[in-house]
Amino acid sequence: MNFGDEIEGEVSRGARALVICPEIRSQRQTRDADARLEEARGLALAIGLDVREATIVPVRDVRPGTLFGEGQIERIATDATMAEAELIIVDGSLSAIQQRNLEDKLKRKVIDRTGLILEIFGERAATAEGRLQVELAHLDYQQSRLVRSWTHLERQRGGFGFLGGPGETQIEADRRMIRARMGRLRRELEQVRRTRALHRSRRERAPWPVIALVGYTNAGKSTIFNRLTGAGVLAQDLLFATLDPTMRAISLPGLDKAILSDTVGFISDLPTQLVAAFRATLEEVTAASVILHVRDIANPDSADQKREVLNILAELGVGTGEGEFADIPIIEIWNKWDLLPPEQQDELAHVSEGEPDILRLSAITGEGMDEMLARLGAVLTGGARVHAITVDAADGQRLAWLHAHGEVLGEHDAGDGSAGPRRRLDVRLTERELGRFNTL
């Protein structure tokens, strides 16, 4: 980790940190300050920092140069000294000027929420696309921070910067190099996206439904994924333990095979620089036959987290009631049920009674896993009716698709067609799967 070079030294894993959550009176927040502070603390822990203290700082009037008032900065400096903090994390967006001025006054490195999340993504990204997206986001963020080094470099270099070359300022040269690198990264990403879109279209033609796990970060998606597949996906009690989509085959009641996809965890106030990367990764969800929305039902902030997830899905066109992906069914999984006290379990059990698409589950103990698998099988095979379908006998792909994806009740010779012998199959299929078959 390298959080900048204005303050001497480099902050690494194990560095002592003070987490500050500004509660800005003039900004309307959908989540309370305590929940935001706890999430910010979790983000710092996810990158291996030693969080010595985390505190909420009310901000009545935003100071353009520092965000906080002078008295508040003095208190933050005192808290940092008492905690022996090497790093100040501000859970909000700081301008380059605010970040530089705070570092000057506090004599410590200062990073904002965007910088922290970028560090986490940079450490976690494992695929080629993930690494490209994170580097692009880092460069976009970095070019907005160049003002931090401009004040002294401008005086050294001279020139008015009207033309490139020897007379340009260092900051302009840096920006030019960053823009060139970003252009190359975007071209590489476009090629990766085309390849991924091709793979997705092939999966859509494949004979198996896709189940997408989605949810707020640290809801337990990867633990469920590992329990169902036996895969070794990183499943830790950390925010953003999983970044890149992972897929494995599983079997379900009534289905020989289905594809289970684990996706990146959602989060509120995602940095602008990462929105494109996040959305691109989540495009996999739109290819799903069913979505499992995993909730950490034991988290006090669970309702707000659910709202964030549904809002992001709606931006993708999922669950909106209209559009190409509006009809993808969503099953809500109330995970970490075992962590609730008995009285809260009774209360929530009453709330979910009669709701077939709300399931109570503990990925750790296994409670509710069988019910979830049964519900998935029912959703993926439900609403099916028998269709008489005629296929060329030599068309192995379409025949295999019907046998793997539907319930073949009968198969007979259907005479000869223009391409040779044909077969007639009586197959039980849902309308959705029939539509998929017709695209083969």
Annotation: binding site: 215-222, 240-244, 262-265, 335-338
H/E stretch holding 413: strand 407-417
End-to-end CA distance of the chain: 48
The residues with which 246 forms a beta bridge, in sequence order, are 262
Annotated binding site for Mg(2+): 222, 242
Structure tokens given for 79: 């808290």
Annotated binding site for GTP: 215-222, 240-244, 262-265, 335-338
Rounded distance between C-alpha atoms, residue 309 and residue 312, angstroms: 5
Structure tokens given for 388: 């008489």
Strands 87-90, 109-112: pairing kind: parallel
Closest of 18, 42, 2, 418 to residue 239, by C-alpha = 42
* CB neighbour burial string for 37-47, b if at least 16 within 10 angstroms, e if fewer: bbbbbbbbbbb
CB 241 within 8 A of CB 222: yes
DSSP state of 262: E
CB 113 within 8 A of CB 268: no
H/E stretch holding 18: strand 16-24
CB 39 within 8 A of CB 239: yes
Q: 151 exposed, middle or buried (CB, 10 Å; 0-12, 13-18, 19+)? A: exposed
Q: Computed from CA positions of residues 115, 116, 117, 122, in that sequence, does the dihedral angle turn out positive or negative?
A: positive
Phi, psi of 391 (to 5 degrees): -135, 145
Nearest-5° angle of CA 404, CA 408, CA 413?
115
Q: How many CB atoms lie within 10 A of CB 216?
A: 27
